[in-house]
Structure 1
């Protein structure tokens, strides 16, 4: 059998390695040039924009797609997220802590640690991948970041001025779920020879009773880990309401400093203060409340996820003892992708869905308009 029938003169075949190398260098130079253009487009965009969530807007979809691509590629191999963190200036002790003590996606955690810096712009992430020589990741990020940048690069967008080059950040409803060991809100007091040097939380301004009062309703959200995205969406919808003013949304994770002082006291107090408790009913939520063990909270770093069971026990007590099995306080929301839990929720009459997530903006606003507009 003549295996090399088409290559009878195989010994005389040579490859022009020099020409091939030059071709590769030209291709790489072209890629670097494109990356430089992309870097200029995103040099004023803060990494926090990756966490803007609004499924109904093109910009929200672009932010999510850029975040998804970055996290997927950076977390695709065991060491890539570590190399990225190191290239972004995250200290080794923090990277070791993420490795050994954090259960969330490490690539996502690295981004959240990095974006605590006011100057954590997206071009620095591109520079980090260049240092790592991960041109495959840079190529994957090119289209998502270009799509994202176009929403802020238009002259009439109102977001950016080519003259000022101000950094554009997203701060409203930004997730603040980093563990205390990685969270820069835990800082050292200013140097004082009379004080012991120990880490303390930034002092929160004290709120008197008047500041706690609001003309609008107070909603207390409760959700498991698979309901976090829905919680962000609900807060975003409410933040854009113009015909109902003063609506206050309470989540434990947004009030971490206060909750840490006495979680049970804080939850009971705001459960009573809230006009409505809004559980986000997902498969994870049902699984949590089925554990029947309120003294064993979730191990999640998100405080709302930790205390799902505790809050649900307050819902039961209120439903049975305070309202005589009439649902006066609970307004459950069912995410669109969680309709399969409907057959399980029949066991929980106090949690029967009041609205779907996609209908929340219109239905809940119309409902509250009756009493608070």
Structure 2
């Protein structure tokens, strides 16, 4: 094949390359234009307080628009793993509040982030847009762009381009709904007490002595199991072992079996039963170690099992009891190592003295039964 035969293909190749570069340049310009429009969106909503997202009036057009904007923000921010946590960080939510929200069960985390954020009188909606811009979540911003523009129209009928300059240009008063909005956040997340909050008991000069819960009249032993996803089979096996015991009489507590009671007040239920339980039985697996390890990125549970949800909360109770109640004597936790546990679990759990395995699942039936009898229960 001579050069003349190759020449047409050569020029076609160049033409394709040039076309591709041109297409890439067009896409870059489109993306730049989109980002510019989203920055303009931040300017447009800078006079609207986040509390407006919670205005509800099904009979008015504004009530419907506020609800639609709230719904889209919550669905999009809460619809992807860890997005709500990053969103909270960019909004300035403290790590302590984020940890509390992580262990909350009754409320949507994205909704809680908005409610915590809007307690600040300067919590305007433009800061929500700016946070998403910093996160480079342009997909979420495109989804909420129309609902937010509709919200702007409710308070900016002439839409005269007031915010076409800098965000702080002019002196437009911030539109807020905070005075008429009841704050239904948990007390731990409130920045200040309100009239609606229950008045706490006035502290006495000397606090009452802490009473130790009396043992049940029938001397039944309570074992409180705590485990992650990969410990469920072991938990069920322990339940089966105990069900077959004639003596001692033992009851097993698993949160998922008491869902209705837990839902009423999760933290209170867990704390009270932690005190009542004779022993807490953590099931030590790779998943459990990952759940309690603060350096491990946390991903939301794929099921609604309450035992998985509160692993970290119960672990903190174990540590507080170990350090402050018993002076680093392990009198409460009796950890169990599953028979199929990974080899590295033993080395990892060595960093947690309160969780050192007490027995293996294989020996649980024999050892735990003998231990409870010997302990005169």
Looking at both structures, which has the greater relative contact order when contacts are Cα pairs under 8 Å and sequence separation is at least 6? 2
Give the structure-2-normalised TM-score. 0.45
TM-score computed with the length of structure 1 as normaliser = 0.46
- Higher Cα radius of gyration: 2
